[in-house]
């Protein structure tokens, strides 16, 4: 898949997460099997703001044409998604979240797989 397409799909993901985390933070906690709390909602909304900024950043990165910079962005995408996958599975294995975390892990794995070929390109 083309770099610009993967970046655009990531931008859509980040926009969706921003809207969801800002508008309905409790929804995410309940899907992951977490007890609703003020602290969780505060942190979810703060994460929502971060996703707004990431969506804007990725909008700008979509126009990058230099192959080395594209690979660097893709490597960052693989690390980010891989880290989120690992954290989700670790938290699930430890019993701190429920199996609903897999609804986050699955798209993260798909995005990691989309970024990997770009990150591994030669030249």
CA distance 15 to 33: 23
Over residues 51-90, the pLDDT tens digits come to 999 999 999 999 999 999 999 999 999 999 999 999 999 9
Q: Is the pLDDT of residue 123 over 80?
A: no
Query: For 15-24, what is each residue's pLDDT tens digit?
Result: 999 999 999 9
pLDDT at 31: 87
pLDDT at 34: 86
Give the integer Cα–Cα distance in Å for 58 and 61: 5
Sign of the torsion formed by the C-alpha atoms of 18, 75, 118 and 88: negative
pTM here is: 0.90
The pLDDT of residue 120: 97
């Amino acid at each position: 898949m083309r770099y610009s397409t993967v970046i655009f799909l990531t931008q859509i993901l980040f926009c969706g997460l921003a809207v969801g985390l800002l508008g309905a933070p409790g929804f995410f906690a309940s899907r992951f099997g977490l007890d609703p709390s003020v602290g969780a909602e505060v942190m979810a909304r703060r994460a929502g703001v971060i996703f707004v900024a990431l969506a804007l950043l990725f909008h700008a990165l979509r126009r990058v044409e230099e192959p080395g910079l594209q690979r660097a962005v893709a490597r960052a995408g693989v690390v980010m998604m891989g880290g989120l996958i690992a954290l989700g599975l670790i938290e699930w294995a430890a019993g701190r979240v429920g199996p609903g975390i897999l609804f986050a892990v699955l798209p993260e794995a798909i995005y990691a797989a989309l970024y990997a070929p770009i990150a591994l390109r030669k030249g």
